[in-house]
A and B are shown apart, each in its own frame.
Chain A
């Protein structure tokens, strides 16, 4: 049987990885061939047990609806989940996700997508007033936790995740990404070390519009998990990436922190640096660490984090994983290896290695790339 959920006897799913991301700040769309080429250069950073992509801007016709991508182990799981969806959502359209048999991907779950919005008179309204986003988050967690053989792997608006067990270039062929167009792409090549491949465990990990591809093992996972559980997040997948996504969801969506500050939580400056700042900033960052110390991601990571307004790439606070960024016109590229960027953009305007803990923040509309230094004056 195919594994779409982590049923392995492991408390945590650990993996090394390769990653890359491409964003066009003017929202000019490109198809998936560049990102595929980019990640295929990083072939050796994975071991064929997981590859995936996130694309933004691919569902312009349904931009106001939540696009659920769901994988099923069997058809009875499908009918159970669909009953839940029908009771709680208005379904605008549903269809199988187009896939294309390649010689490399033999087995795969049944992949289906739904363009939906929560009903205004859904049953849970009797008990509480949840916003649509909150309700979608709860629904995703509910399905992933309680419905055996079903797993929601994408739930944002006008974006989608495409992932599975295999090398990313094969996964790209499987979903035929050349035929999909978007203005922002991220990709991931996975090297799990303690669990055989499982479909749900491939990256990107997504929740609403957030998508995360991640390379690293968070050494602070234990406390990050317990911290999130205090806010009722259920870490069903037991992966670091899931923890990062939920932390960002908590900080940005629920606690309304500006993105730059939320990122400071993930890779906070050392006190020796904070102590030298002017009093206002010192007070702010000290408070940030006091309150969100349990959300600090300690240990090696490089992440590329996509959201509806742009993309962020960053490293841990002492840069224990590789990350390179480059710009070329209105394109920004990030990748684990410079060679991956050069493969699709041989002579960029600018190419650099972002400093430890200092995020590269790219936003749409105007060309707007910050190092954190620019934002917080560190």
Chain B
């Protein structure tokens, strides 16, 4: 078969340079991780086909001379044969490969958070002013006994008879979602670690092990054990406040992580405990977990290894039968269940999975919370909800649907400059986030972005306090699972039922 010399796939974006403004400083050439720009002797040239609209060049152009526009050349419009479908066929016919991309799905599915409205107090109960009254956001993650075991001491004072199981204390109900060293840069992890420590919350190592530089942040770190077991050893398990067993991820339920060998340099090799240059491919399942009773064994193996001093979290993707699955996980001994909805992010995943597998976190969460209450075991484990929490409003709604806390991943990367271009898998991230190229990584200053992450979570926490005050409660635990404070709009009866909320007006 003869090789065709041309490609059907045209540039998605055009990088346009205003040569009257351009002073030829070449910052764009330096900043672009994709090699879009080059110097043509007297002016900057742009190879549009390389542009991904990551926004780095125009952000750093001192003259404001760059604009990135969508390629105006049209494909004939066809509502059935959409542009993306046609382009995928071209791509796959040219390469024979699976189409892979980063971040969450770009499909326009219904976002249930956007169809849920919150309540506020009027007259019959007063709202509370968060500027003048305490407004508590502190959250504890971990197994809670169903009842307090108290005795009375010699002075007639009540005393605790048995110790509480280990808990993670969060000053505000946010955690940073799992993003491994490898999928993101060490500097990106450091920014989150700094922010987590300042905020009194936790970050999650993801499946890539724990770099030595992060060991001092142990009190603000959850370490993860995934099917590849990268970087897992005894000290690793004991270096954080909790251990998370990763079964699945919202963006790619049913498959494991994949870090190409080109990204495995000396440092990652050491942290992940694998040879330099080898592909780090996590098996789709854990090969020691083929059933729920196997999961129980791993949970207790981890508990044994950590002296029962750390809660064990199990992370799963939201799939069709999620309520029964989580019930099983709780009964298997998990102290925390992390549920990741289908719009969650990823460093790399096949589009077929990312765009078509899983269910929305809102529905999964509502069903799980209801199921655990029906079974009388909701206290046995805390729930973390994730899968594109985009704002404090999403967080509030998730908590009212039943989550103990929410995890943010993509939002944290957006803080660091991410424009959600979805090319994380290529390792060329101009912002220094999802890349291991040293010249790109070093532009991400952990202290600068640690502070911005701190700002974001602080701002969102203040917004949650505003909402709590408007609802007339002064503690987050009075919102948690309080679906009575939620109403749906533009939702069908089936959707309302799945969410366990009433339509607005009722």
Identify A257's interface contact among B123, B148, B479, CB under 8 A. B148
Residue of A nearest to B165 (CB): A290
Contacts A291-B379, A298-B472, A298-B474 given; does A270 touch B480 at CB 8 Å: no
Distance from B147 Cβ to chain A, minimum over Cβ atoms (Å): 4
| Residues of B close to A226: CB separation below 8 A | 373, 481-483
Q: Is the C-beta of A373 less than 8 angstroms from some C-beta in chain B?
A: no
- Measured CB to CB, the closest approach of chain B to A40, in angstroms, equals 24
Contact A318 B485 (CB under 8 A): no
Tell me if A343 is interfacial: C-beta within 8 Å of chain B: no
Taking a contact as CB atoms closer than 8 A, the residue among A14, A218, A286, A293 that contacts B477 in the complex is A293
Give the complex CA separation of A271 and B376 in angstroms. Answer: 27
Could you say which of A193, A286, A376 has the most chain B C-beta atoms within 10 Å of its C-beta?
A286
Residue B114 at the A interface, CB < 8 A?
A: no
Interface string of B494-506 (1 = CB under 8 A from A): 0000000010001
Q: How far is the CA of A292 from the CA of B167 in the complex (A)?
A: 15
| Contact A290–B483 (Cβ < 8 Å) | no
Q: Does B125 contact A (CB under 8 A)?
A: yes
Contacts of A223 in B (CB 8 A): 477-482, 484
Question: Which residues of chain A come closer than 8 Å to B480, judged between CB atoms?
Answer: 223, 293-294
By size class, the interface of chain A is: 35 or more
Asked if B128 is at the interface of the complex by the 8 Å CB criterion, the answer is: yes
- Is A16 a contact partner of B482 (Cβ separation < 8 A)? no
- The answer to whether B128 and A318 touch across the interface, beta carbons within 8 angstroms, is yes
With A and B bound together, what is the CA distance between A258 and B149 in angstroms? 11
Given contacts A14-B124, A222-B485, A291-B145, contact A318 B474 (CB under 8 A): yes
Minimum C-beta distance from B398 to chain A (A) = 14
Nearest B residue to A258 via CB reads B158
Mask of B102-130 contacts with A, CB within 8 angstroms, 1/0: 00000000000000000001011110100
Smallest CB separation, A56 vs chain B (Å): 25
The SS class assigned to the B binding surface is: loop
| B144 touches A (CB below 8 Å) | yes
A270 touches B481 (CB 8 A): no
Binds A, one of B131-139, B215-223, B267-275, B287-295: B131-139
Residues of A within 8 A of B481 (CB): 222-223, 226-227, 294
Q: Contact between A271 and B136 (Cβ–Cβ < 8 Å)?
A: yes
* A226, B479: Cα distance in complex, Å: 12
Question: Which of A218, A283, A291, A298 lies in contact with B475, CB distance below 8 A?
Answer: A298
Of the residues A16, A298, A376, contact of B478 by C-beta under 8 Å: A298
Please, how many angstroms separate the alpha-carbon atoms of A320 and B128 in the complex? 10
* A260 on the B face (CB < 8 A): yes
- How many of chain B's residues touch chain A, expressed as a range? 35 or more
Q: How distant is the Cα of A362 from the Cα of B37 in the complex, in angstroms?
A: 81
B472 and A284 contacting across the interface, CB-CB below 8 Å: no
Contacts of A221 in B (CB 8 A): 482, 484
Nearest-CB residue, chain B, relative to A227: B481
B373 touches A225 (CB 8 A): no
Q: Report if A73 contacts B (CB, 8 A).
A: no
Within 8 Å by CB of A293, from B128, B159, B475, B484, lies B475
In the complex formed, the residue of B with least CB distance to A192 is B124
Chain A residues 11-34 with CB under 8 Å of chain B are 11-12, 14, 16
Contact A222–B475 (Cβ < 8 Å): no
Q: Is A95's beta carbon under 8 Å from chain B? A: no
Q: Give Cα A222–Cα B148 distance, bound, in whole angstroms.
A: 22
| Any B CB within 8 A of the CB of A348 | no
Contact B147 A255 (CB under 8 A): yes
A230 touching B160 by the CB < 8 A rule? no
Q: A217-B124, A290-B164, A318-B133 in contact; A11/B502 too (CB < 8 A)?
A: yes
Whether A290 contacts B124 by the Cβ 8 Å rule is no
Complex: A156 Cα to B307 Cα, angstroms: 48
If the complex has contacts A298-B472, A298-B474, A299-B473, are A230 and B373 also in contact, measured as CB distance less than 8 A? yes
* Complex: chain B residue closest to A191, CB-CB: B124
Q: Is B303 an interface residue (CB 8 A)?
A: no
Give B474 Cβ to nearest chain A Cβ, in Å.
6
Contact of A230 among B145, B378, B485 (CB under 8 A): B378
Determine if B376 and A231 form an interchain contact, defined as CB atoms under 8 angstroms apart. yes
Known pairs A298-B478, A300-B125; list 10 more (Cβ under 8 Å).
A11-B484, A14-B125, A221-B482, A222-B483, A223-B477, A231-B376, A255-B148, A290-B164, A291-B145, A294-B477
Q: Which 6 A-B pairs have the closest CB atoms?
A: A222-B484, A293-B477, A222-B482, A220-B478, A298-B478, A219-B472
Q: Which residues of A contact B (CB under 8 A)?
A: 11-12, 14, 16, 193, 216-223, 225-227, 229-231, 254-255, 257-258, 260-261, 270-272, 280, 283-284, 286-294, 296, 298-300, 317-318, 320, 375-377
23 A-B residue pairings within 8 Å (CB atoms)? A14-B125, A217-B125, A219-B471, A219-B472, A220-B473, A223-B479, A223-B481, A223-B484, A227-B481, A229-B373, A230-B379, A257-B158, A260-B158, A261-B148, A271-B138, A284-B160, A290-B164, A293-B480, A298-B474, A299-B473, A317-B474, A320-B126, A375-B157
